Amino acid sequence: MTDDLPGFKREIFDAQVAVFETGDAGEAAYVIESGCVEVLVGAQDAQRRVAVLAEGAMFGEVALLDHQPRTATVRTLVPTRLVRIDRTHVEELLQRSDPVIQYLLRLLLERFRNSSGRSVGDEDSAAHAKTAQAHDPQDLHAAAVRTLSLAHDLSNAIDSDQLELFYQPIIALPAQTLSGFEALVRWHHPSMGLISPLEFIPLAEKTGLIHRIGQWVLHRAIGDWETLKSSLGPQVEDGFVAVNLSAPELCNINIVDIVRSALSAQNMPTQALRIELTETTVIANMGTVSHILEQLRAMGVGIALDDFGTGYAGLDYLQQLPFSCLKIDMRFVMQMHSSQRSYQIIKSALELSRRLELKSIAEGVEDACTASLLAQMGCAYGQGFHFARPMPLRDVASWAASFGNPGPG
Ligand code: C2E
Ligand code: CA
Ligand code: CA
């Protein structure tokens, strides 16, 4: 039917028809849109009715999280219209949720099953063992415990001085001069070691801690600017430090004031700060974002579109938002020698940035060959392990000296 949502289907049954029977594979749950059904348990010749369900009720929902066979028969009493919710659809949604939610749901399901009288000795036990393995409850449990304790510990990380900014050099092509840095946050967890921002930033976004972390990053990067600048060498006039902002930070109505006062407190020129935002962040928050970005850009702050090409979006937002720089995602850069498509995508992205008068940066430059091909193609900057990995501030000056930018003194 045309008005079905993906994963949800309408099914219409006459009266006295089984929707499913005991022992059937459980693949879906149902909500009664109109009509009513009876729930029967027991062997075929001795079935007894345990419930009658009417409009709005849901049944068969255990099947949503589990591959168990049905433990009851459900039969319509009158012509009945049902909305069918497929397990595969719910599983897809669940897999995209965080491990704590996944774990809690599975735990609740387990409790529900035990309390509703299923015993390990019944005929489903073999199937159940398989299911347990497929969901890997131990992995899920470990992931949930890790997430919970990281979320808890993260709230102390700033006050306990466990966060650090690493800086990754950004190199102008083809001259190969050091032009700027991207600030990348690191968390030194006291017992779990170094935790990747890929793990704790999403957690901070969910718990709201991102605002404190984001401000800490901004202030630290701006505070480090004097040191970073002295590594750039006197010939570099448009040096910069780039800071990543995630969606909740960008939607903070005070963000413009926060940036302005942080810059003026350190006497840092606005042009030397660059904000990096991903396509996904801007697209999901177009209304709020455009007003904030206009103000930041008017102040002189650079705005880079990060991970370009990965957001599955049209290009409409490029004409609406005041970007000054486009960062081509590393997945294209890393494959540009092996994949003709990646090469062509990079070529088009460079052409696009030229036409829109945006600076272009290629991320993930891991070898000299890639760097020189990008330079030939007209890419303005490169960033990647070929030049340098992200490093602590204390290592920047000596790295810059060895790279050929000895600084003023
Ligand atoms: P990103 O902004 O795309 O940052 C680039 C990531 O690629 C960094 O990982 C960097 O270490 C890595 N990288 C750089 N060059 C190469 C290369 O040649 N090869 C490979 N394989 N990787 C390279 P990192 O530092 O782990 O950061 C991951 C992501 O975490 C960042 O992706 C960014 O989205 C987020 N992130 C990092 N710091 C912050 C922060 O302060 N605030 C926010 N909101 N997000 C941050
Ligand atoms: Ca970035
Ligand atoms: Ca990136």
Q: Does residue 317 lie within any of the structural domains?
A: yes
Same domain, 110 and 168: no
Whether residue 176 lies inside any domain: the answer is: yes
Q: What stretches of 259-301 adopt beta strand conformation (E)?
A: 273-278
Q: Are residues 98 and 177 in the same domain?
A: no
- Are 167 and 107 part of one and the same domain? no
Which residue owns the Cα nearest ligand 1 atom 4?
184
What pLDDT does residue 116 have? 56
Q: Examine the domain organization and report whether 96 and 227 are in the same domain.
A: no
Number of H helices, E strands in the chain: 16, 18
* Ligand 1 atom 38: residue of nearest CA: 184
Of the three residues 96, 116, 136, the one that is the final residue of a domain is 116
Structural domain harbouring 33: 2-116
Which two tokens mark 350? 């460079």
Atom of ligand 1 nearest to the CA of 249: 44
Q: Which residues of the chain have pLDDT under 50?
A: 1-2, 117-134, 407, 409
The residue whose CA has the least distance to atom 43 of ligand 1 is: 244
- For residue 170, give the ligand nearest its CA: 1
DSSP 8-state code for residue 42? S
pLDDT tens digits for 182-206? 999 999 999 999 999 999 998 898 8
Domain end position, chosen among 93, 116, 139: 116
Residue 87 and residue 172 share a domain: no
Instruction: Indicate the number of domains in the chain.
Output: 2
Residue 185, domain member (yes or no): yes
Same domain, 372 and 248: yes
Other CB atoms within a 10 A radius of the CB of residue 257 amount to: 11
121, part of any domain: no
- Beta bridge partners, 58, equal 31
Query: Which protein residues are within 6 Å of ligand 1, measured from CB?
Result: 168, 184-185, 196-198, 201, 217, 244-246, 276, 306-307, 330, 363-366, 383-385, 390
Which residues sit opposite 169 in a β-bridge? 181
Is position 258 within any domain? Answer: yes
Question: What CATH number is associated with residue 16?
Answer: 2.60.120.10
| 147, part of any domain | no
Long-range pairs of 234-237 with CB within 8 A, sequence gap ≥ 24: 234/408, 235/177, 236/177, 236/178, 236/179, 236/405
Together in a domain, 161 and 62: no
Same structural domain, 243 and 356: yes
CA dihedral of residues 212, 218, 222, 228 (deg, nearest 10): 120
Nearest to 102, CA basis, from 47, 45, 143: 143
User: Are 55 and 182 in a shared domain?
Assistant: no
Q: Which of 244, 282, 386 for mutating ligand 1's site (highest number of atoms within 8 Å of CB)?
A: 244
Residues 108 and 162 in one domain: no
What does the pLDDT read at residue 326?
95
Residue type, 107: L
Q: Are residues 159 and 112 in the same domain?
A: no
311 C-alpha to center of ligand 2: Å?
A: 14
Residue 52 included in any domain? yes
DSSP alpha helix (H) spans, 309-376: 316-320, 330-333, 340-355, 368-376
DSSP H or E stretch at residue 78 = none
